[in-house]
Structures are given as C-alpha cells and as structure tokens.
A and B are shown apart, each in its own frame.
Chain A
Amino acid sequence: MSHFTKLDRAQITSADAFIKACKDLGFTEIQRDVTIKDYYGKSIKVDVAVKAGKYDIALQKNESGKYDMVADWWGVRGAAPELMRKAKINGDGDLQDYLLRHTTKHTIVERYARQGFRADVTEDAKQNLNVVLTRAY
C-alpha cells in the first residue's frame, strides 16, 4: 500500500536556505545581488556570493527559476582547510554535496515550519541527514 519516493539530487530553490548552509559550514561574509570575478577574471552577476578565503561560492538563478551553485571549487577548498576538516570534507565533490544537503535541510525545515511542523534533524555516520517533521493536531 505504501510507496517510496526518491529524488536523486535536490535542486536549490531558496537562496536563504543556501546562505544558512554556508553559515553551517562557517562562512559568514555574504552578499546579495553582486558582481564577482570568475576563474578567468570575467565579471559575472550573481544572486548570492559567499566569501570563502579569497574565492567566492555563488548562486545564479537558472532558466527554470531555481539556482545553480558556481565557484572555483579547488580554490575554495584550499582557502578554508580548517573548516573543511571540521565538516569532514575531503574533496571538491564533498564540498558541493555538503552545501546541497544542508541547503535542502534548511529549505525543507523552513517550508514545513510555515505549515506548523517542528523539525528534528540528526546526522548519521554516513552523513545522511534524517529529518522528522512533527505537527500536533
């Protein structure tokens, strides 16, 4: 009677949730609607820029109205080794995965808090985030 529902990789729908995920990691210098330089020195306009050492992690809105994460990932990882170690991030892919799962966590928690759900979030040994939404009725 029951069904499993699965989403292979969540898309980023909330800039606020992304900012909270960056704060979870320890990045605090954040700007909205700014122009930054990309890897080649070209100026690009972004919706959010988070300073990670001398590099930026940015969010750009795509054609579907959702967001893409853009960064010089190698540079970002090298710029904040302490934070990466603390968050058990070992590679560029790990960093993007960390930001995506924590962005998704904040998106879901905020979305369902508006409907009266309280969220309890725990992290397991595999770094999965287990979320329980509870609402009194």
Chain B
Amino acid sequence: MSKSIALQITSQGGVQMLQDDQVDLRELGLVKVSRASHVEFDNEKQTWFVQSAKTLEVLRDDFKTREEALTWEKAFYSPGGQGWHEIEDETKGEES
C-alpha cells in the first residue's frame, strides 16, 4: 500500500493542491484555502454523492460507502483530474 499526494508548482512560482495535512504549504508563505466539494449521504437513494462546491453540480451519486466517495473525489480534484480546472479558474478570476 502507498499514499500519494499531488501538487502543482505554477509557472509563476505559486503552489496549489488538494488540501492534505501531510503537506504544510504555510512553510512557504501565506496560503488560501477554499472548499472544493461536498460529500453527503442521499437519504432517498441510500448512497453517498460528491457535489462541486463551486457549481453545486452533483458529480456522482452512486457510492456505497463514504470512503469510496472520498477516494473518487480526491482523484477528481487532484492535478490532472477532471475537476482540477476549478482551482485554476479561481486563480484566473482573482487575476482579472
């Protein structure tokens, strides 16, 4: 078994990642933290779902366990994942 943590050092020397307590970016300067997603239980379907905090879109709603939802969510929002652009979009929004 192994644990992987993905982060991105931007071309301008910034750093961004999905929050992981094992990597403390505060050692390198002032960080900003924002919510990426929600993992909740659907009482009707009796399954766990992942929802984008930015668009409120339900991204997937068929997880039998919370652990499965968290694992999928982490891959989705890590660098290279389909949801990674949401952090890049936030950065662009701040620059404009």
A residues near B (Cβ < 8 Å) are: 1-11, 13, 96-97, 100-101, 104-105, 107-108, 111-112, 115, 117, 126-137
Report whether A9 and B33 are in contact in the complex, using a CB–CB cutoff of 8 Å.
no
Report whether B6 and A101 are in contact in the complex, using a CB–CB cutoff of 8 Å.
no
Instruction: Taking A6-B33, A105-B9 as given, write out 11 further A-B residue pairs in contact, using a Cβ cutoff of 8 Å, ordered by the A residue number.
Output: A1-B37, A2-B39, A2-B73, A4-B35, A4-B77, A9-B13, A101-B12, A126-B11, A131-B9, A132-B6, A137-B1
> B5: shortest Cβ distance to chain A, in Å?
5
B residues near A (Cβ < 8 Å) are: 1-19, 22-23, 25, 27-39, 70, 73-74, 77, 79-80, 86-87, 90-91
Report whether B2 and A6 are in contact in the complex, using a CB–CB cutoff of 8 Å.
no
Report whether A5 and B39 are in contact in the complex, using a CB–CB cutoff of 8 Å.
no
Partner of B13, one of A3, A13, A104, A111: A104
Which residue in chain A gives the minimum CB-CB distance to B20? Answer: A5
Taken together as a complex, chains A and B put the C-alpha atoms of A108 and B87 apart, in Å, by 20
Chain A contact residues: helix, strand, loop or mixed:
mixed
Which residue in chain A gives the minimum CB-CB distance to B69? Answer: A1
Report whether B19 and A5 are in contact in the complex, using a CB–CB cutoff of 8 Å.
yes
Partner of A127, one of B4, B11, B77, B90: B11
Report whether B28 and A5 are in contact in the complex, using a CB–CB cutoff of 8 Å.
no
Please judge, given known A-B contacts A9-B14, A10-B14, A104-B15, whether A2 and B37 are in contact too, CB under 8 Å: yes
Report whether B9 and A5 are in contact in the complex, using a CB–CB cutoff of 8 Å.
no
Report whether A3 and B5 are in contact in the complex, using a CB–CB cutoff of 8 Å.
no
Taken together as a complex, chains A and B put the C-alpha atoms of A111 and B17 apart, in Å, by 16
> A22: shortest Cβ distance to chain B, in Å?
15
Residues on B with beta carbons closer than 8 Å to the beta carbon of A126? 11
Partner of B29, one of A1, A11, A130, A134: A11
Query: Which 4 A-B residue pairings sit nearest by Cβ, starting from the closest?
Result: A100-B13, A1-B39, A127-B11, A3-B19
Taken together as a complex, chains A and B put the C-alpha atoms of A133 and B69 apart, in Å, by 22
Residues on A with beta carbons closer than 8 Å to the beta carbon of B19? 2-5
| Interchain residue pairs with CB less than 8 A apart (19) | A1-B38, A2-B39, A4-B34, A5-B32, A6-B14, A6-B31, A7-B28, A7-B31, A7-B32, A9-B12, A10-B28, A11-B28, A101-B9, A108-B7, A115-B22, A126-B11, A133-B4, A133-B6, A137-B2
